[in-house]
Chains A and B, each alone.
Chain A
Amino acid sequence: MVELSRRAVTVGAASAAFVFATDATAEEVVKIGAIYPLSGNSASAGNYEKMAMELGADLVNKGDPELAKILPLAKGGGLSGLKGAKIQMVFADNQGTPAAGQNQTLRLITEEKVAAVIGAYQSGITLTASAVAEKYGIPFLNPESVAANLTERGFKWFFRVTPVAADFARAYSAFLKEQKAAGRKVDSIALVHENTEYGNSVASVIASAFAKDGLNISMKVAYSANSTDVQPQVLQLKEKNPDAAIFISYTSDAILYAKTMKEQNWKPAILIADDGGFNDPAFVKAMGSVCEGLVSRSVFAAGKPGSVAAICDALYKKKTGGDGLDDVSARALQGFLVMADAINRAGSTDPAKIQAALRATDLKPDQLVAGYDGVKFDDKGQNILASTLVTQLRNSQYVSVWPKSRATHQLILPYKGW
């Protein structure tokens, strides 16, 4: 423990200008850096993730009696493995640019002397930011970026908790095949995706998975996410009228599509929206009433009362003033808890020990906020137990409908809309 306190003291001295110390007495703290888009086009998602991690830090530092029964980490009083050291989150804004992501990661590591870094939402920024952590030998945990190449770089310090695009594609494919088997018509599928990294990568993975599974993608529509208008695309869809449509969109375009589909009075029998904008609480609040029965995927569903997910959802609602956990914030909170658990087991802020503890991570489904089958990393740092749920929007709330083992509600088709 000598090692820790010395570190904590130098940290305090070195960054006096940046830290708003909550307590005058030099309390032992473990700093975790978090790098997220707090400004720019993805600021909405970044700020939800920030609140999720602040909630996570509160759970460890202050605790929650109900949650502590299932999750020992949440019994309060800091990290037990480090004699009650408190977790201090240090947030940095990646401004939506790879350059800012890298500059800020360097600052978190060298100035703030964080024990580990979590980030960074956009895959491209996760790529550049984690490269700095790798060079400095600091654990970098990614809760939510889905680009396949992130874990193919031979990095030793990179860990990813989230499922990747291939997992989503498998889930959709299995889901649609089940619908087909149940007698629903799924002969033509439209794949509509925005044209930046997120939409393109997910769309191409879905396209190849569906081709393998014999599902017919009859039309592919790529569009720019900052379009001022999506009427032509909706009219195109209306003309071709596919049996099912899959949308891969950000919030801005998701809102436009939902509005325009109602304006033009078109709806497919099965409407799937790949997470993204359709899961943004702002979208659900504004457009939920005209998207009844929308099928989406999420790692989060509140589940049964008394579960980790349900308790965290309630606590998060209290923190945000109404917005519950969604796919993005649940993955962020889960990422934080994985990191906190690893540091706790490492019993030290030594990067190598945290890295070893992360490698040894083995969390069971009932200990998770996210609906994964568990958390366990392979040699590349990918969580091999990551999986996704298929959800459906009911009365402006997403509920889990697939796979059957995790479903809380019965799937209702066809898509009702408004």
Chain B
Amino acid sequence: MTARRLLQIALVVVVLAYPIVTAGSPVWQRLGALVLLAAISASAWNIVGGYAGQVSVGHAVFFGIGAYSAVVAFVHLDLPPILGAPLGMLVSVAVAAVIGVPTLRLSGHYFSMATIAVGELVRVLSSTSDWLGGAQGLGGPAMPRTVFDLSFVSAMPYYYIFLAVLAGVLGLTWWIERGRMGFYLRAIKDSERAARSLGVSAGRYKLYAYMLSAAFTSVAGSLYLCMFGFVDPESGFGILLSVKILVMAALGGAGQLFGPLVGALILVPLEELSNSLLGGQGAGITFVVYGAIIVIIARFLPSGLLSLLERRPNAPTKAAPVNPSPASGHAD
């Protein structure tokens, strides 16, 4: 127990001290911030995709809403971008309700496909809106006017802001996980039919999880805009972004508190470092390596990296059916 406690303290110290230790290298310092930012959106996705088992492949919708809200606050209202974040959360929750009510009735892959379609729909529509800058996108403040523009040269302030937000998201997830809602969500994930027969209002709880998840993904989008200062339909609503969020959570371990963070810890440095080392040669080797590593992890640890820790010698291995029978189209 004490050893475990010591390890936990050591981890907290490392996390807190990271940007100070790496102060000499802006690239490494920034890498820390990028990991945290990715972990925020992946952790937000985890609430609905991991715990409730509703695999959304369209979370870029909410990320984009967050990013666009922030940039709109600057462009149209002349406010610091970050003040658009609460607006983005509200819009995201509303949009999540509109998308969720019809699509959450679908089960399995049908839900995933519907979220892909909705994501593409939003991307195309956003590129036709002049108010949102159309296909050219919108840029934040070119030069920081006040500190509230959150436009810094050093990545250190971003690191601590992202860390605080991530802690908030994880804290809330932990609270949900242990409460009644967590219990319901797990029941729905295991068997929606069984959950319903026990009197769980499956539809309602799935929607709650979806809206909550949307709100936090939107915050990640707003923070992204503050750091990078630009968003266009592809970088805000692109399908690749949706898939990356999902892959990060799945790689670490979906439905586990720290799964998305572990996924981000592996994938973001992998992507950045391989691009730094190999990208300049211009043959796409970066993504060959990146793809191969994802394949290998999926092949040997289909439940994510965190499943490594769970394997205990005597514990009975969970026998999954070799061939799960195809899910029906209907959720009920």
Contact = CB atoms under 8 A, between A and B. Distances in A.
Most buried by B among A91, A93, A131: A93
B230 interface: yes
Given A39-B287, A103-B34, A131-B229, A124 B276 contact: no
B221 to A, nearest CB: 12
A99 B228 CA distance: 7
A36 B275 CA distance: 12
A93 B280 contact: yes
Contact of A197 (B135, B224, B279): B135
B279 A149 contact: no
A95 B279 contact: yes
B230 to A, nearest CB: 5
Contacts of A224: 124
Contacts of A95: 275, 279, 286
Interface string B206-220: 000000000000000
Interface stretch (A105-113, A210-218, A286-294): A105-113
What is the interface residue range for chain A against chain B?
A: 35 or more
Nearest to B30: A106
B230 A38 contact: no
A196 B127 contact: yes
B235 A97 contact: yes
Contact of B136 (A50, A99, A104, A201): A201
Most buried by A among B272, B277, B279: B279
A18 B277 contact: yes
B137 interface: yes
Contacts of B284: 38-39, 43
B235 A91 contact: no
Contacts of A155: 142
B234 interface: yes
A118 to B, nearest CB: 13
Contacts of A124: 136-137, 230, 232, 235
Interface in A85-138: 90-93, 95, 97-100, 102-104, 106-107, 110-111, 123-124, 127-128, 131, 134-136
30 contacts: A18-B276, A38-B280, A38-B282, A38-B283, A39-B286, A39-B287, A43-B282, A90-B280, A91-B282, A93-B279, A98-B231, A98-B235, A99-B228, A99-B235, A103-B34, A104-B276, A104-B279, A110-B27, A124-B230, A124-B232, A124-B235, A134-B143, A135-B153, A149-B139, A154-B143, A195-B128, A195-B135, A196-B135, A200-B135, A201-B136
Interface of A: 18, 36, 38-39, 43, 46-47, 50, 90-93, 95, 97-100, 102-104, 106-107, 110-111, 123-124, 127-128, 131, 134-136, 147, 149, 153-155, 195-197, 199-201, 224
Given A103-B27, A107-B27, 10 more contacts: A36-B282, A38-B281, A47-B282, A91-B282, A93-B282, A95-B286, A103-B34, A111-B25, A134-B143, A201-B136
The 10 closest A-B pairs by CB, nearest first: A93-B279, A38-B282, A153-B142, A91-B280, A39-B284, A110-B26, A196-B135, A200-B135, A197-B136, A135-B153
